Every structure is written in C-alpha cells, then in structure tokens.
Structure 1
Amino acid sequence: MTTALPIDEALPALISALKGRGLAVLQAPPGAGKTTRVPLAIMDAGLVNGRIIMLEPRRLAARAAAERMAETLGEPVGGRVGYRIRGEAKVSRDTVIEVVTEGILTRMLQTDPSLEGVGAILFDEFHERSLNADLGLALALEVRAALREDLMLVVMSATLDAAPVAALMGDAPLVTSAGRAFPVETRWLPRPLEAKARFDQAVAGLVIRAIEECPEGGVLVFLPGEGEIRRVEGLLKGLKGCEIRPLFGAMEFAAQRAALAPATPGMRKVVLATSIAETSLTIPDIRVVVDGGRARRARFDAPSGMARLVTERVTKAEAEQRRGRAGRVAEGVCYRLWSKGEEGGLLPFPPPEIAAGDLAGLALELAAWGSDDLPFLTPPHPGVLTEARALLSQLDALDDQGRITDHGRALTALPLHPRLGHMLLRAGGGADAATLAALLAERDPVRDAPADLALRMAAVRDPGRVERDGHPVHRGTVERIRAEARRLQRAVPEKPAGLSLAQMAALAYPDRVGLRRKSEVPRWILSGGKGAAMAAGQPLSSARLLVATDLDGDLREATIRQAAPITEAEVRDLFGPAIHWHTLCEWSKRDGRLQARRQERFGALVLDDRHWSDAPPEALAQAALDGLRQIGLTWSPAALRLARRIELCRRDGADLPDVSETALLQTEALLPFLGGRRTEADLRAVDLVEPIRALLGWNGVQEIDRLAPSHFETPLGRKVPIDYDGEAPGIEVRLQELFGVTNHPTVGPKRLPLRITLLSPGGKPVQVTADLPGFWTNSYADVRRDMRGRYPRHPWPDDPREADPTTRAKPRGT
C-alpha cells in the first residue's frame, strides 16, 4: 500500500485546475511528495494524450524520481516511467512519464517546436530558477500560445513566491499543499560565531552536538562544496556508531546512490551534502539537519567574460528547504549555524541564474529560436546579453546582423558551452579535442598543482604517471572526463585540423590569449583587455604568450589557475585575419612626451611595435592636445589678463566665447598652435594669447578691446594696465595725472566703474575710489591739505577739475 503524503490532499484541486485551464502552479513545501505523486496523478487521471515530461534540475534527482515512481508502479525503470539525462536514457515505446534534465527540454523544443507526442510539461523545483528552467518555461509558454493550446503546463515549487509565476502563465490557478509530513524543531546558536572561528570546525562541532542531543535517525549536513565536505569528513572520521557519507554532484553515481541508501544496521548515517540534497531527493532515515548556512554560487562578469564561484550566506528560502529535509520520515530537528537574531539579515531568495550567470548559451538559444520576445519571469539584462552576443560573433556563431549561422546551429546541438563547442568543431573533433572539451567543462582533476593545462591532459591519459610525479589525481573526475570525451567523439565526425593543445585552447578562449607585461612579476595582458597574473616560480611564469583556460574571476587582475603556452607563430596561424596594423599617436604621461607608433595587434595584444615616422601633423597635434588635457594649461600673465577681460564681458552679457581652461581643452581651438610640440616642456611653452585671440576672431578682438581694454590711457597719454583680477577691475595712477578728468572711467558692457587707486607723488596709495568726480568734490580738499605738507614741490591746485594733469614737480625756488 502506498504511504500517504501531504501532497495527496492537494491533488484533486490540481487535477481540477488542469481540466479547466490546462495550466497550474503548485506550491508545496519540502517533503510533500510533489515530485513523485503529481506525474502519476496526471497519468492516472487520463488528462493528456501523449507523454508527460518532467524537468529536474539535476541528474541524480532525475534518476531518483524515475526510480521511485517506477517502484510505486511495481515496474522497472524504462517502462511507463523512464528518464533521459546527458549521456544516458532509459525509455521505451511504453514510456508515458519521462523525467529529463532541463537542457534536454530545450533541445526538444528547438528541434520540434510543436512537441509532437508530448501532452504535458512539468517544471519541478522551479524555485531554483536555473537558466534552462527559465528558458524552457518561456519557450513552452510561447509554443502553447502559438501552436499547442492543448499543451498542459505545471510549475511546481517548494519556496518560490508563486504569484508572479501564475501571472506570467496568464493568471494560472495556484494550488497550495498543506505542509510537510512531520513537524521540525529549529535550534539556533545562542550567539553569532566569532569572526576567527573556523567554519569546518564549527560545523563538525555542531554535528557532534546534534548526534548527542538527538539519539535517533540519520543526520544531513549542508555544506557549500566538496572542499568543505572533505574537511568536515576528516574531522568526523572515526565518530563512534556513525557512517560518514559525502554527497555532491561530481561524485560517481554509485557513491551518490550509497549516500541515499539506508544505513548499516546498528549505525547512524551522517550525510555531508551540498545543495544537491535540498530538493527532490528523499534520503531515508534523516531526522536531523545541520545547516552550515552557506551556499556556493556562480557570479559572471560580462565585461571581463569571467565567472567566479562565491560562497555566500544562504537565503531564507534555501534555509527553509534544508530545514524541511528533517521532517520527511518522522519528527525532526534542524540545527542552524547562526543565531536567531542573524536570521533577519538573510535575503528572501537566491538570485535567478539568468540574473547572475553567463548568458552565452541563452543568447545562442534565442538566436536559434529566432526571437528575443519571450515571456521570461526575469528578463535577461540587455547589457549582459549584448556582451554574450559579442562573444558569439567572435566564435562565428552569429553573423554581422546577429542572426545564427550554420556554425551556430551546429553549436546548439552540442551539450557544451559555445566556447567549447566552437573549439571542438573548429579543431575537427578527434580524441584530443574531445578530451580537452570534456576537461575544460569539468572540475580540475589535479588539485593544487601548477597552472599547466598539459599536466591536466596528461592526468586524463595516464593518471598513474602524474601521481608518480607528485601530483594527486582525482580518479573519479578523470573517469567522468573520459566518458564525456568518448561521447563527444561520437557526436562530432573526426576531421583533425592539426592544431596544438594551445591552439585548441585559444579557439575556446580567443579573448584570453595573454602577452607577458614588461615586469619582473609574472603578469599578462589578455587579448580581451583584462589583466591576469600567476604566482612566481611556476613552469609557465616566464612564458611570453599563453592561453588562460581557468581564471579565478578577480575583476581587477585575475589569477591564472590553468593555462597553456602558445607561440606567436601559432597565434598568427590561428588568428591571422584578426591581426591588424594600427597607427597610434598618443600622449605618454609616464614619459612626458608624445608617442607616434605603428602597432600590430591581436585584440589588446601588441605583437609588433614600431616608430611611426611619417605620422600626419593632424594626428600629432591631436595627441599633443590630449597631453595638454592631462598636464593642464600654463597661463602667462598676458593670457590671464586677456581671459579675465573676456570673462568680465561674458558675465555682463557680451556674446563672446568661453575661454576658461576647461572650455579651451574641450574644444580644438588649440590644435593649430601645437604643431611640432612633442614634450611637456614644449606644451608648457605654448602662449595662450594667440589661440584665444584666434578663437575670438577679428570682430571679437575689436569688441573686447572696446568693451574691456587692456589699458587705461591717462590725459598725458600714458597707458596704465587695467587689473581685471578680483571683483572689480582697477588701475593705480598718480593723483596729479588725473587733474582735469571729470568723468569716471568705466569698462564692460554694463560700464562698470574702474576701481582707481590714487597714488601720492612717492607712489604710495592715497585713496581708492570708484567715483572720481565725487572724490574731487568731497575728499580732495583733505588729501590736498595733507599732501601739500609732504610734497610741497608738487602742484596741489584748489580746483583739480580745472587744472592740467602733470607728473612733474615745480622747479626749485618757485
């Protein structure tokens, strides 16, 4: 008899919704049983004419779900229930329910958009928001709207905010399951972990505490990755009465099955797992969950073309998923490696892959589909999509108009990233190319080894020899690489192109060919424009040219973890049409002079660099102007006075050009005066008076001389320079030289009075005035009284307005 599960109560409402609309969103907590119950319920209800396709995000979950449903029916897998995953299929003509991994649905839709023979598609664990799941749902919704109104679609999720999905599906009915089978108690740390605490030791200590406090049932421990799993495994080794069983995606299938199997009688099972155990899988006997509170995610930076793995705090949704694992078979307990107070700081949901991942594969699928206008729950970022398309163009997968090429269509048929598929096809298939593609798609089989790609290839061919050389080899990874390489060899007809290992790597990473910088430290500039470095003393640290096949993703300067040396001849042979001569006139701030070069470039790499002896004067002048923009202008006193005169008139409304430093450097007014200027000293010697006068033009010069003259002419004909610095322009002049002047001198469009500093015969300031007639009337008498005693030989008339101007003293004796 089949054991009752919480989802069973929701199945009638789900079947009713599908009968009415053919669409539904099912929200059910972890452990409710939706993965194995829903497909069988739809089959038993006879709702569809054709196969029921259910998508699972992981291969292990797809196998396990198919096996569990087949067991429920009392049949072997491959009968009414089967599965298809990458490299393996168990289906037959009798198969009604087919569990597939997500990429397989995309291929089905691209090959046959009408999905002949398929009656329903179920998207399981949609809350994980994988890129393939988002794309698969978008394509399925478009197919249903355009070609297959009868196509039944069900989205199933444990923790997703289901309302937006239901809205995307045309306000599809939302069906909710009541809850998990058994209650789960949550236990937090009394206080946050200390900053200096080691994560693996803290997890191991919490596991030991959980085993002591909960004497029954297996323990499921969530860790971010294999490295943490192995370290915690080492700390728990020899734990009395316990079997420690790792579980992560890169394990052998047999080892994964062992983690799912019941414990040996008399022993307790402790499963150390990544997020692979969060969903879909039922692990017998688990009563306790220990959540380390961390998750590993891929983050992709489109401008650099680099992805990096980051370890982050789990989200509330992930923590709830993990907690639910403890309540599947009985009442359980969940231990969390954080305090209750810290829980409020957790984000609600993890970011969808479409918002954080590499979009090259998505861009290729959209091009193959022929449309970007798809109903995505989270639309791809336009800028990131543009960068992905630029890469595809570089790989010859898209033409100049962004349409998919025949080569691009061939790439969609390969279960590889477009980079690796391009390499495999252009290298002509064969064992070496297939092995390299499989190697680059997998995790590193030789950990903590020098950054040498050839060493990895050698490990795949002969792991024993590499181990004898002192480099431990992960044998399980090697076997996966070999199996995938055999499959890729069968998929691509062999037409070897005679390329070296480095050339094949460069086909996949044309933007990561590195040229060593002129530095003692091993640093390279990559053809895509980014920088990369390597620890000194490694075998490749002196390589002039290399291809970086694995980088840590640092956005400032990435660390090279895997590379192959390449010769310039190999680069030229492979990328000849993309290597071009460029002329360059630029200002070198480091050298303080103009440089004119002819450079042969591949991307950002300069393969040949020569002096450009016949550079055109226009280019040299433009480079000199760029130099001025970097070092700034040198203002002579005359140029500064002229600029201030112009600024005064502009401030008062005159229609004259802006001659501030910022304005002069933004225009090209200086270009005609920079001929032959090559050094910083040359540029600092540029007299700005002539460029400013040229910018003003003849009319402008006349206007500025009229409105704001450079000098004031005294009644004696002497020219006194006008100081335009400060709030008001001014002059300094001897008092006697202004005798007879009855109108105060002014400047500017608004006739601004000059600030006149009147000087004694000895050149000392006597009075400052902006109203000379008023000075004669009101203040002169007092000044005259004082000055007569000090300078008796100088004239001090009673009425200066009627006197003649003078700079002379009276003759002696008069």
Structure 2
Amino acid sequence: MTTAQFPIDSLLPAIRDSLAAHPRLVLEAPPGAGKTTQVPPALLDAPWLDGRKIIVLEPRRVAARAAANFMARQRGEAAGETVGYRIRFENKVGPRTRIEVVTEGILTRMIQDDPTLDGVGALLFDEFHERHLAADLGLALALDVQASLREDLRIVVMSATLDGERLAQFLDAPRLSSAGRSYPVTLAHFPARREEKLEHQIKRAVEHALVSHPGDVLAFLPGQREIARAEAALAGSEAARGVDVLSLHGELPVEQQSRVLQPDPDGRRRVVLATNVAESSVTLPGVRIVIDSGLAREPRYDPNSGFARLDVVSIAQASADQRAGRAGRVAEGWAYRLWPESQRLEPQRRPEIAQVELAGLVLELAAWGDAGLRFVDPPPGGAMAAARELLLRLGALEGSGTQGATITAFGKRMLALGTHPRLAAMLLAPNDARERALACDLAALIEARDPLRSGGDALAARWQALAAFRGGRAPADASRSALAALDQAARQWRRRLRVETNPPASVPAHALGDLLLHAFPDRIARQHPGDPYRYQLANGRSAKLFDDSAVYGEPWLVIAELRDDPRDARILRAAPLDEARLEREFPQRFVSEDRVLWDAGARGIAAVRERRFDRIVLDSRPLAKPDPARYADALVDAVRQLGLDALPWTESLRQWRARIRCLREWMPELAKGEHALPDLSDEALLAGLDAWLKPALRGKTRLDALDEAAFGEALRSLADWTWRQKLETLAPTRIAVPSGQERAIQYHFEEERHDPHVGASAPVLAVKLQELFGLADTPRIADGRVPLTLHLLSPAGRPLQVTQDLRGFWERGYLEVRKEMKGRYPRHPWPDDPWTATATHRAKPRGT
C-alpha cells in the first residue's frame, strides 16, 4: 500500500466524525487535495457503514476509471477487487468490491432498480460543481431515499469550486473545507492575432511555453476536433521537436488514457492537449504550464434535432480558476489564457437542468412515481411540459400529459436502456433481427458527429458511408475516424441489446425512415399538395427542403434535424418512409371525422369531412349537412384566433370588466378563496371561453350574430349576484358630488401582450370645479383605500387641474386658478373662500 501524503489527510478525522453525527456533508477541497481518492477509503471502517458499499459518482468516464485504478493501486490491488468501477459499456467490480466509482447515469439506474439501496451505506457526489443533469437527479433521488426509506444512508457532496454555503443550506448539512497542495501560478493573457485560428494560437502559446518555462504543458481545448487540429499544427513545430504530444478526451481507448496519466518512461517533456476531462479528478504528473482556450463543449438543447447537443461555449470563471490551478500542483507554475484580459466570464457554470431537453428527466420522475423531488435548481416548467408531450407521443407515458401522467410498460423498457427516450423508442420498436441491427446503426449516427464533410440532408448517405466503411471502401468525402467511432458505437449497442445479427450491407430506400418514425413521431411529415418543397409535420408545423435536397420528391419523410425558424423552418436531415408501414405501425393516429371549423382566410365557418394523420390533413371534402351543434365550437375557436376584440364590447362592459380587475388589485383579499372576484384578464377569459362564451353562441352560425346584450349577460355570468351588488358599493360607476349631481367615475386597467400585469390606473372623476365647493378632502372608493384622481374642469368643461389632493388644491392652487378664470367666466361663481361657498352646477342668475 502507498503512503503518499495528501492535503486532505488532516481533515479525514473531521469528515468521519461529521458523518457519524450527521447523515449529510458538503466537502470543499481544491484540485490536488485528494478528496476523490482519499475520502472513500478513509470511510471503509466507519461503524455506521457496517461493511456496506460506498458509491462514488464521477461526472466523466476518464475520471471514474482513473480514480478507481488509483485507489486500487494504493491498496496494492487491481481494479475490481476492493475498489472497482462501472461506466457505460464497461464494468470492473467483483464480489469483494466495497468502493464502486460510477458515472452519474449508473447511480440513477441503481436507485430506480433498488430504491432501498440494499448493501450501500454512502453516496459520494464528486465534482458536483459541474452540475450535470444526471448528478442533480441522482442527488434528488438520494435525498428522497434518505428521507423516506434509509435514514442511515450517508450523502456527501464534494467539489473544488461550488457555492458551498448555498448547497449546505439546501441540504441542511455541515460544511467542511480542505486546503489544497498548491504553488504560486503566474497568470498571463495570450490574445489571438487578427483572424487567427485557434490551433495556430495554441501552437504559438505552446512554443512560447516550451522555450520560456520548465515542465510539461497542459492545453485545454473544447473537443476532439480542435485537439486534432492543434496536434497537426504542432507536428511541424521546431520548438516541439522531441516533445511527446498527447491527446486526452473521453473517447480515447483505455490504453491511451493510461499512457497520458503516467509520466513519460523516457523522461521526455510532454504537451497534453485535453478537453475539460482534465479540469478535475484527473492528475497529470509533471504539468507546470497550463494553456487555456477558455472554451468547452457543453450540452445545450438543440431544437433542430430535439436532443441536447455539445456546443462550444465560454467557460465560467470557476472553471478558469480550476484550470489555472493545475499548473501549481508540483511546483511554481504559469497559466496562459487565450482570451483578452478585458473579457469577463460568468462566475459559475449554469446547471444543465436549466438549458437541456428534459424528456429523460421526466421519464425518470414518472418511473419514480413522485414528481415533487427536491432539486438544487428546479427544472423549468415549459421544458417539463414539452418533454411530457413528447413522451406521450413515444408511448412512454399515458394519461393526461400533466404531472399525473404515468409510465407505461414500454416506458420502463425504454428507461432501462439508459439513452435518450427518442432513441430508446426506436431501438425497442423492431422485432426483426436485421432491423434491430439497423436501429443500432441509426442510434450511433444520431448520437455522433456528422461523418460526411460534404453535408447534405439525406440520412441515407451517412448510413451508406458507414456500410461502405465496413466493406473497406469508405467514401472520399467521409472521415474514417468518425466512421470508425460510429462502427464501434453501433457494435456496443448491438451488444447491449443482445443483437447477434450483423447490420445489412444495403437496405431499401424507406428502411431508415421506417425505423426513425419511432424516434421522431412528432416530425413525421407529408409533402404539401401545392408545394413539393414544403412538408406538413405531425405536430402541426411546416418546413421546407433546401433547393438541392437529396430527398426531394419523397411523399413522406421523417425529419431527424430541423432548423426552427418562425418564418420558414428548414429540413436539415431526413429519411423517406413508407406510408403503408406508417399505417401498420400507428393505425390509431389515422382518423376520419367531420369538422366544423373557423376559416381564418374566409373569416367564416367551414364544414368539412377530413382524414388526418395527427395534424396532417390527408384529405378534406366539403360537408353538405354539418351538425348545427358543432358551430359553437368553431365560433369559440374563431375568438381564440381573432382575440377578445372580435366580441361586441360596449363601453359599459369595458368599464364593468375594468372595475372588477381594479378591485382585485386594490383589495387582493377579494381575489382569494372559493367565492373570489373572477379573474377577467385576457389570458383567463380566453382560457375559459368554453365555459362562459360557448353557451351564448349556441344556435348561431356567425360570430356577428352575437349581440351586445347576449354577450354582456355571458360576461357578467362570471360574477355571481352577490359580487354584482358589492361591486356597486366598492367600485361605483357614479358618485354624488356637493352640487347634488352624480358624476361618472372612469376606470382603467392597462394590459399589454408582452406584459399582462401592467395593472390598475387610478380611477378618474371629471367634474366642474364649482361642483366641489365646500368639499375638503378627495373622495375615495374601494372601502376608502383608493383616492379618485380629480380632473377639475372649467365651466366650459376644459381641464384646469389634475389632483388627488383636493385639500392642497384649495389651499395652494385655487387662488391662481380663480385669478385666471374669473374674468373669462364672469357668470360663474369664483368665491374668495371655496371652503364655505355653496357648490353648484349652474351659472349665476342674470343680473347677479
């Protein structure tokens, strides 16, 4: 066993003591402190563990494998004995394994398969600051298990750069911090030259570093493509002659990863070109210089494909600090940043849950049976609703499509595959062995980067390139390395699904689409009858082919990638499908019905007999004798399309609505409870059209047949008789003034499309100044809470003053108004003392 010392060693007793007293812990420790490899073994003999397993979560496969191997070597063992690991498509655990290092998705499957986590005593979430969706879900599930089934389960959340205070509050957990082993790191910015490509900037920075400083170089790049270009640029560098240039990313074979993680056997200097897998949990010996591009590939929801794609984005400041820290692990170091010093980075990485597609999360929650789990950052409601709708189409959920939707038996099988629900539905759909092998090819194609350099919109061209590669004749415009990776991924899927049949060497034209329709049921599309480049989609949208499309002329397509555009969506990847196969696979989605609907173009009602696939109209013929009862539905749809202004509003009705809306704001207690004042916002009225407006439209065949009286009664039915009476007291239409007359009050409630909550304006009372003589204070309504805005008018009805402070006007403003108006209106009273004068709405009698 090794006796190497780590900075975290001094904190290990405190960690053990904390977990003995409390079931949760937040542990902050910088890179190099040893938290990943020293904390799990230190807990093995804890009495509360009682011989059970420790599960350590790592966000990356490279880190999981490296951490397990390091801990095993510390014990003089091989991985798979006391310490093992499980990652996608690879498993090294044995009957004696007590520390399992797993990637995040593995933990989710463990909890879903055994919610009691039998035999597991502790869960350690490493590098939680990366905020992967699977880690957030795993933590939420673990907390639920701990709260309801396993009070003895220990949960430790570890990271070098996280908001420890916030997380400790969320978990109601103690917080411990460790010092790291670090040396001073000199920071410098190494900006690009004008129009310089990244690989050339990397080459200049590496050459400068090799000449100027001792030690190995670690350069951070966003992905494999950039690493390959940088490697090619360095191949002809004089400064890098004799230096071992290595790559490090998650797709490397295990042997090559191991080579990078060990010192060079011949003592040569090394330049490691790495993705952010080297940012944390992986130790690279000898590194004293870091070159940071400031970029990473991170998942973002791509509406074109319906999946989360890896996009090149700027890293957060926390990541930049962590990367720079890698230069100070063994001695004084240097970090070169390839962005201008003036550029400001976001402080922390945004959690994936806020920016990726959530179909997988919704399916996991449905399987768990509790959508109310506690997340560090709650998932966005809109993304959750869209995910539920997709899962209903895929057959993974059944029910209303709301929080109450339940998982189906097919949904459970999809979940067990551990991939995106779209791909899982496609992989499970075929019964024929050759089709299952072909589905594995398609899953690999959809998940991977495009192997063709020439582009194009035909998925068939990409599969044909893969088939040609297997036959030893890859096309000239294809990347052999990309095709090799595709072939490997397809083999792994066949192994996972126990498909022993090899994929076919050729397939009919519709074969790919006939499988893809199970992954993209919302993007099944039919050629528009009037425009051969345009297609109608099952979800109600439409999209166009490019002029040079390889699938032009196909009557039916499955669209795998779609560039969404409000004006004209474009089809990026598609495959033709067979309509007969579509009818066999989804007979329930082909429907024939009589419809009475609003024709927006003709601004009238159309009655048709339609045959449809989902929202694609296959055939439509005029209906001679439609059911009159269906007209009301069509007229309600007309109001939804045209808006509430299409209804016969009168000023009286607009005022009635404004009075209620104002009262709900001025007296919020009236908007609560079973007998609350009704919500009359545009949103609420449109949402409730079927309940309040449809009865008034029955028997009518035109929207303009609804008269003002019938519409007014329908609208007023939303408030019961009691509220109608109270409304006259709390928000009257008229008010008596000192002259003995009643004057109207005007109510205003502003609502705009972009902001439905602008709110109530002050009610206005327009009245001639002489009618208020003797009134000391401004009149108020809404049980005295709201003063009227007084528009004080001249005898001719022109505004003299606007005020909500009548007393102040009499004291400070009246004399000026009197001086100006008395000569203009001599037949009207302008007393010296308005407090005691008699109010009047008339002029003085002649001769007075």
Superimposed CA distance per residue, residues 69-92 of structure 1 (whole angstroms, 9 cap, x where no aligned partner): 111222111121111112221122
Q: CA deviation at 1:592?
A: 7.9
Q: Return the offset for 1:588.
A: 5.7
SS at match of 1:30: coil
How much has 1:128 moved relative to structure 2? 0.9
Contact 1:5 1:181 in 2 (8 A): no
Amino acid at match of 2:25: A
- Aligned: 1:427 with 2:430: yes
Residues 302-342 of structure 1 show CA distances to partners (whole Å, capped at 9, x for unaligned) of 89945444332211111122112222232221111223332
Query: Offset of 1:56 from its aligned partner?
Result: 0.9
**Secondary structure of the structure 2 residue equivalent to 1:43:** coil
Give the aligned partner of residue 311 of structure 1. 312
d(CA) in 2 for partners of 1:593, 1:341: 60
- Per-residue deviation, 1:194: 7.5
Quote how far apart the aligned CAs of 1:566 are.
0.8
In 2, the alpha carbon distance for the partners of 1:85 and 1:106 equals 12
- Identify if the C-alpha distance between structure 1 residues 554 and 157 changes in structure 2 by more than 3 Å, giving closer, same or farther: farther
Q: Helix, strand or coil: the match of 1:341?
A: coil
Corresponding residue for residue 162 of structure 1: 164
Aligned to 1:213: 212
Query: Any idea what the Cα deviations from partners look like across 1:762-807, whole Å, max 9, x if unmatched?
Result: xxxxxxxxxxxxxxxx9xxxxxxxxxxxxxxxxxxxxxxxxxxxxx
Q: 1:316-331 counterparts in 2 under 5 A?
A: 316-331=317-332
AA partner of residue 177 (structure 1): S
Alignment pair present for 1:549 and 2:557: no
1:647 Cα deviation (Å)? 6.6
Q: Distance in 2 between matches of 1:595 and 1:476?
A: 56
Q: Which residue of 2 aligns with 1:337?
A: 338
**Contact 1:300/1:358 (<8 A) preserved:** yes
Asked whether 1:409 is paired with 2:412, we answer yes
Residue 791 of structure 1: aligned partner:
none
What is the letter of the counterpart of residue 11 of structure 2? Answer: A
Amino acid of the structure 1 residue aligned with 2:409: D
166 and 422 in structure 1: CA distance in 2 versus 1, 3 angstrom threshold: same
* Pair 1:301–1:555, CA change in 2 (3 A): farther
Output the amino acid matched with 1:127: H
Alignment counterpart, residue 508 of structure 1, candidates 516, 519, 541:
519
Q: Deviations over 1:105-142 (max 9, x none)?
A: 12221222222221221111111111221122222222
What do the CA deviations read for 1:729-758 (whole angstroms, capped 9, x no partner)?
xxxxxxxxxxxxxxxxxxxxxxx999xxxx
1:486 corresponding residue in structure 2 = 494
Following superposition, the deviation at residue 32 of structure 1 comes to: 1.8
2:42 paired with 1:30: no
Amino acid at match of 1:528: N
Structure 1 contact 503–574 (Cα < 8 Å) conserved: no
| Alignment-mate amino acid for residue 73 of structure 1 | R
**SS at structure 2 position matched to 1:244:** strand
Contact 1:530 1:557 in 2 (8 A): no
In the aligned structure 2, how far is the partner of 1:7 from the partner of 1:163? 20
| Counterpart selection for 2:56 from 54, 57, 62 | 54
Q: Is the 8 A contact 1:427 1:504 kept in 2?
A: yes
Identify the residue that residue 146 of structure 1 maps to in structure 2. 148
Q: Is the 8 A contact 2:59 2:127 kept in 1?
A: yes
Aligned to 1:457: 463
Cα distance, 1:555–1:145 mapped onto 2, change above 3 Å: farther
Of 467, 478, 488, the residue aligned with 1:471 is 478
CA distance in 1, matches of 2:11, 2:325: 18
In 2, Cα distance between the equivalents of 1:672 and 1:130?
54
Aligned to 2:40: 39
Match of 2:775 in 1: none
Structure 2 residue identity aligned to 1:379: P
Q: Is the 8 A contact 1:19 1:47 kept in 2?
A: yes
CA contact (8 A) 2:437 2:499 kept: no
Q: Is the 8 A contact 1:308 1:552 kept in 2?
A: no
Q: Are 2:67 and 2:281, in contact at CA under 8 Å, matched by a contact in 1?
A: yes
Q: Distance in 1 between matches of 2:698 and 2:209?
A: 81
For residues 395-434 of structure 1, the C-alpha deviation after alignment (integer angstroms, 9 at most, x for no partner) is: 2222215122222222222222222222222213642333
Match of 1:83 among 79, 82, 85: 85
Q: Offset at 1:26?
A: 0.9
Q: 1:570 to 1:172 in 2, by over 3 A?
A: same
Letter paired with 1:611: P
Computing the radius of gyration from Cα coordinates, the structure with the larger value is 1
* DSSP 3-state at the match of 2:398: coil
1:246 maps to a residue whose letter is: S
More off after superposition, 103-112 vs 554-563: 554-563
Distance 1:148 1:622 in 2: 53
Q: What SS class does the counterpart of residue 334 from structure 1 fall into?
A: strand
- The answer on whether the counterparts of 2:653 and 2:712 sit within 8 Å (CA) in structure 1 is no
TM-score norm. by structure 2 comes to 0.70
2:229 and 2:304 map into 1 onto residues whose CA distance is 35
- Return the alpha-carbon distance in structure 1 between the equivalents of residues 615 and 326 of structure 2: 51
Once the two structures are superposed, what CA deviation does each residue of 1:438-488 show, in whole Å capped at 9, x if it has no partner? 443444444544333333334444414551464333244134223312322
Contact 2:451-2:483 within 8 A present in 1 as well: yes
**Given the alignment, which residue of 525, 532, 539 partners 2:550?**
539
Partners in 1 of 2:384 and 2:710 — Cα distance?
A: 48
Question: What is the Cα deviation at residue 260 of structure 1?
Answer: 3.1
Residue correspondences, number: 667
Tell me which amino acid in the other structure corresponds to 2:446. Answer: L
Residues 163 and 447 (structure 1 numbering): CA distance in 2 closer, same or farther, change over 3 Å? farther
For 1:484, the aligned partner's letter is Q
Q: Which amino acid aligns with 2:173?
A: A
**Structure 2: gaps (5+ residues):** 660-681, 714-765, 767-794, 798-826, 828-848
Tell me by how many angstroms 1:176 deviates. Answer: 0.5
1:789: which partner in 2? none
Q: 1:516 is matched by which residue type in structure 2?
A: Q
Q: 1:6–1:33: 8 Å Cα contact kept in structure 2?
A: yes
- What does 1:797-812 align with in structure 2 at a 5 Å threshold? none
Cα 1:629/1:142, change in 2 over 3 Å: closer
Post-superposition Cα deviations, 1:587-617, rounded to whole Å, max 9, x if no partner, equal 6666788755443222332222333444456
Question: Cα gap change, 1:46/1:576 in structure 2, threshold over 3 Å: closer, same or farther?
Answer: same
Q: Which residue number in structure 1 is paired with residue 374 of structure 2?
A: 375
SS of the equivalent of 1:254 reads: helix
The 1:80/1:601 distance shift into structure 2, 3 A limit, reads same
In structure 2, the partner of 1:440 is: 446
Q: Deviations over 1:688-740 (max 9, x none)?
A: 9x96799899xxxxxxxxxxxxxxxxxxxxxxxxxxxxx9xxxxxxxxxxxxx
Q: Are 1:308 and 1:553, in contact at CA under 8 Å, matched by a contact in 2?
A: no
Distance in 1, matches of 2:211 and 2:547, equals 48
| 8 Å CA contact retained: 1:308, 1:554 | no
Cα distance in 2 between the residues matched to 1:370 and 1:158? 34
- Three-state SS of the structure 2 residue aligned to 1:501 is helix
Kindly tell me: are residues 532 and 627 of structure 1, through their superposed partners in 2, closer, same or farther at Cα, counting changes over 3 Å? closer
**What amino acid is the match of 1:488?**
R
Alpha-carbon separation, structure 2, partners of 1:363 and 1:188? 43
Question: How far apart are the structure 2 equivalents of 1:524 and 1:533?
Answer: 6
Q: Say which SS state the counterpart of residue 461 (structure 2) adopts.
A: helix
Question: Are the counterparts in 1 of residues 359 and 384 from structure 2 also a CA contact under 8 Å?
Answer: yes
- Correspondence 1:407-806 to 2 at 5 A: 407-428=410-431, 430-463=436-469, 464=471, 467-468=474-475, 470-473=477-480, 474-490=482-498, 500-517=511-528, 522-551=533-562, 559-583=570-594, 596-615=607-626
Native 8 Å contact 2:190 2:205 kept in 1: no
Whether contact under 8 Å (2:526, 2:536) holds in the other structure is yes
1:41 positional shift: 1.8
Instruction: Give the AA of the match of 2:522.
Output: D
Q: In the alignment, which residue of structure 1 is the partner of 2:13?
A: 12
AA at the equivalent of 1:375: R
Q: Which runs of 5+ in 1 are unaligned?
A: 636-642, 656-661, 678-682, 698-726, 728-751, 755-777, 779-814
Query: Do 2:636 and 2:693's aligned partners in 1 also have CA atoms closer than 8 Å?
Result: no
Q: Using a 3 Å threshold, how does the CA distance of structure 1 residues 306 and 592 change in structure 2: closer, same or farther?
A: farther
Q: CA deviation at 1:435?
A: 3.5
Which residue of structure 2 aligns with residue 736 of structure 1? Answer: none
Whole-angstrom distance in 2 between the partners of 1:628 and 1:370: 39
Q: Equivalents in 2 of 1:110, 1:647: separation in Å?
A: 60
Q: CA 1:43–1:524 in structure 2 vs 1: closer, same or farther (change >3 Å)?
A: same
Decide whether the 8 Å contact of 1:670 with 1:691 is kept in 2. Answer: no
